[in-house]
Amino acid sequence: MAYHPYIPDRVVRITSLYSLHYFHFHEGYAFPGERHDFWELVYVDMGGVTLGDGDSAITMPHGYACIHAPNVFHRIDVDVAAKTDLVVVSFGAEAPALNEIAGRPIALNSECRRLVRMLLGEARQFCGPVLDISSQTALEPVRDAPRESGQIIVCLLEQMLLRMLRQEAAAAPQQSRRMALTDEEDIQQMLMACEEFMLAHLDGSVHMADICRHLGVSATTLKRLFRDGMQVTAMEHYQQLRLREACRLLRTGRYTITQVAAELGYSSLPAFSRQFRARLKRTPREYLSSVSDAIDEDGIWHHGRRLWIKG
């Protein structure tokens, strides 16, 4: 029997690596800019930046990434109010599809952020622990770098770029959708769609821009929607849902407090505990000890009102 191979399309094919950086910038730092004939990925791991991409200024908070296309002039302005950590990866590629998402902010989902972490871990094995040498002009592996590291880095980067393409393609139909919020039924449907989106992303990755893009509404409309329908802001409701899920996970008895904090994307255990105490007036440990007397979740979050019904 004759076998016939299937040759998969290479939507993104990394051909070379130019730099792998993890920069720590102080507030107010500015990089005047540069232009080069290869691609560059910038990811905001902490803080926030404004990137220049050609004639565009792109504001990027924590968790967002942007791809600069070859030969496009780009620069960096770090927010004046916060220290900022950036991942910067420069690479050569045969990837015309990347032009579809280049030059705009993209909120990375949890899978893409996991790939960033894996890429950084591999980069430290490949290049050594110091990744913030801005004067570096050639990528040189350390003497004892594992032989597989270079290829693993390429595979992780390709996978992340492919997932970014898929993520943005899935969001595109939602971006073109515009709903006229004229009656109570429309408002209820929009609020339900918003909560479904939030519940699917309880790992802390959701920002206002993500919700607006998913629902196809402006930020002004979203603020009015939650003010009138929920009496809280969209992001306050998102944090409530995350903590409601934290309570549920703790009640199962299958997770430690540390595991719950990690599962829901909190930056640290103290950050999780502070927010938990601020909203529930008790620490996670105190909640566990009194879980048998825990008040009903709807009572915690909606003060006795049914969801979507104004009090």
- Same domain? 73 vs 141: yes
Residue 7 within any structural domain of the chain? no
Domain match, 93 and 200 both: no
Please tell me whether residues 157 and 17 are part of one structural domain: yes
Q: What is the pLDDT of residue 309?
A: 28
- Looking at residue 22, its amino acid is Y
Q: What pLDDT does 184 receive?
A: 60
Domain boundary residue, one of 112, 144, 172 = 172
Residue 226 lies in a domain: yes
| CATH code for the domain in which residue 83 is found | 2.60.120.10
Residues 277 and 139 in one domain: no
Are 54 and 161 within one domain? yes
Sheet of 13-25, strand order: 13-25, 84-94, 39-46, 64-68, 106-107
Q: What's the pTM value of the predicted model, to 2 decimals? A: 0.58
Q: For residue 228, what are the domain limits?
A: 184-302
Q: Are both 119 and 144 inside the same structural domain?
A: yes
Contact assessment for residue 77 and residue 50, using Cβ atoms and an 8 Å cutoff = yes
The tally of domains found in the chain comes to 2
- In three-state secondary structure terms, 46 is strand
Residue after which a domain boundary falls, among 172, 197, 215: 172
**Same domain flag for 85 and 232:** no
259 and 192 within one domain: yes
Q: Low-confidence residues of the chain, pLDDT below 50?
A: 176-181, 292-311
In angstroms, rounded to a whole number, what is the distance separating the alpha carbons of residues 33 and 143? 32
Rounded to the nearest 10 degrees, what angle do helices 184-199 and 234-252 cross at? 50
Q: Does any domain span residue 309?
A: no
Chain Cα centroid distance, residue 235: 15
218 part of a folded domain: yes
Boundary of a domain, candidates 172, 198, 218: 172
Report yes or no on 8 lying in a domain: no
Q: Is residue 107 part of a domain?
A: yes
207 and 150 belong to one structural domain: no
The CB-side HSE value for 99 (13 A sphere, CA atoms) comes to 6
Would you call 118 exposed, middle or buried from its count of C-beta atoms within 10 A (0-12, 13-18, 19+)? middle
**Both 100 and 193 in a single domain?**
no
Q: Give the helix/strand (H/E) hosting 172.
A: helix 149-175
Q: Are residues 193 and 265 in the same domain?
A: yes
- The predicted pLDDT at position 264 comes to 92
Q: What is the CATH number of the domain that holds 297?
A: 1.10.10.60
- Examine residue 310 and state whether it is found in any structural domain, yes or no: no
Residues 192 and 290 in one domain: yes
